[in-house]
Amino acid sequence: MWCCTSSLVYLRRSIRLRLCSRRGRSRLPLWIRETWAYMRLLVQSLHFNSLTDSDVVFDSVFEPVFLTVDYITRWFGAVFVCLVVILTSSIVVIAYAVLLPLVLNTYSPAWIVWHLCYGHWNLIMIAFHYYKAAKTSPGYPPTEKNDRPFVAVCKKCIIPKPARTHHCGICNRCILKMDHHCPWLNNCIGHFNHRYFFSFCLFMTLGCVYCSISGRNLFLDAYNALERFKHMDLEKPGIPVTGMGPLIGLLPSGQTIYQTPAPPYTFRDKMIHKSIVYMWVLTSTVGVALGALTVWHAVLISRGETSIERHINKKETNRMAKLGKVYKNPFNYSRLNNWKLFLGVEKRSHWVTRVLLPSGHSPNGDGLTWDIFPVNKDVIPV
């Protein structure tokens, strides 16, 4: 009995070993099995829970494209900053080298004082706010453990996210009250530099409009002069003299071409007119494009929301409308209060010292906690 049992156990083990050996020989290579397992995991992740929708599928499919764009934007940020500095500096050089002498020679003393005061004030405001917007940190949530309230956990940073905080793929970290990542500043626009960014856009737009309007007549004169120069360059330098010309001594003997005099313009005149045309075209183009962006951000500030929150609030409004309810932005404190909080205006004199003059004051609050659904009264009585 014992011998039969041991024989059956031995037979079963030998059969199992043979089957395992055959199965091992028929296995696919390791890299194919790993790739297949990864693909199965991706497919399963798309229907992991009931919260998956078309946006999740879209983000998953286009994730490589988003990563490529973020990588390019991150490394070309310095190039964009240099481009802004070069273009702005070129306009300033043209204004001092070309326009200022014309203003001093042709305008009345009152207009000269106006152009000098406004032009330099606008230039100072542009330079100050651009530097502060590019160099000021937008604000980051704390990474250590704390008792601050939060609304979610960032799936990339794996840290708690306070209200109005969003993750920036280019900076690769969470930003307090994030509006967007600006490649022209090579910096994120968040709680602590949002005012600098908007002020830079506003004063740059005003400067471009100022140059475009005040230089319109100069642009037309320069453009017409360049057209005349172009036609004069196409003319021949001499005209043939025929008939009685050689006989009456109009030309020396042996010369049959009458040389026209040198043109009345120089290379310097050409460059001056081209500079005026370049300045007007650049400032007009930037004024229109940047002006539209400035108006858009002014509307968002009046509503108490950022660019990202605009999309979130619109989606929530549609969702609540389907349920027969009305969605209200919890961070909208009325139009005037939104501007007071954004600009940091706490008393009447701040409209001048903090808005019309360069000011490095910090924004209201720390960006970690926010008052929601306030009563309808002045948050900052001014």
- List, for residues 362-382, the tens digit of each pLDDT value: 998 888 888 875 544 554 544
Residues 6+ apart with CB under 8 A from 84: 130, 184
What's the rounded Cα separation, in Å, for the pair 303 and 299? 6
Q: Which residue has the higher pLDDT, 143 or 174?
A: 174
* Cα–Cα distance measured from residue 212 to residue 279, given in angstroms and rounded to the nearest whole number: 8
Cα dihedral 61→65→68→70 (10° resolution): -90
Provide mean pLDDT across the span 255-271.
63
Per-residue b or e along 137-159, where b marks 16 or more CB atoms closer than 10 Å to that residue's CB:
ebbbbeeeeeeeebeeebeebeb
Position 5 confidence tier, pLDDT thresholds 50, 70, 90: very low
DSSP structure class, residue 107 = S
- Decide if 299 is inside a domain: yes
- The answer to the question of residue 335 being in a domain is yes
Note the pLDDT of residue 263. Answer: 56
Residue 287 lies in a domain: yes
Report residue 235's pLDDT band, with 50, 70 and 90 as the boundaries: low
The pLDDT > 70 percentage for the chain reads: 78
Q: Which domain holds residue 337?
A: 66-234+270-356
Counting Cα atoms < 13 Å in the Cβ hemisphere of 270 gives 11
Please classify residue 73 by burial: count the beta carbons closer than 10 Å to its beta carbon, then call 0-12 exposed, 13-18 middle and 19+ buried: middle
- In a domain, residue 371? The reply is no
Amino acid at 149: P
Q: What is the mean pLDDT of the chain?
A: 82
pLDDT tens profile 14-47: 666 555 555 545 578 888 888 888 888 777 766 6
- Please give the residue that has the higher pLDDT: either 269 or 198: 198
Prediction pTM value: 0.76
Establish if 312 belongs to a structural domain: yes
Would you please indicate which residues are annotated as catalytic (active-site) residues? 182
Q: What's the rounded mean pLDDT across residues 209-213?
A: 93
Give the CA distances from residue 351 to residues 70, 144, 195, 304, in Å, rounded to whole numbers and listed in that order. 38, 38, 14, 19
| pLDDT at residue 66 greater than cutoff 80 | no
Q: What is the pLDDT of residue 352?
A: 94
Tokens of 129: 């706010």
User: Is 207 inside any structural domain?
Assistant: yes
- Say how many domains are in the chain: 1
Flag whether 179 is in a domain.
Answer: yes
Structure confidence at residue 102 as a pLDDT band (50, 70, 90): confident
Structural tokens at position 63: 């994730």
- Do the domain assignments include residue 313? yes
179 neighbors 194 (Cβ within 8 angstroms): yes
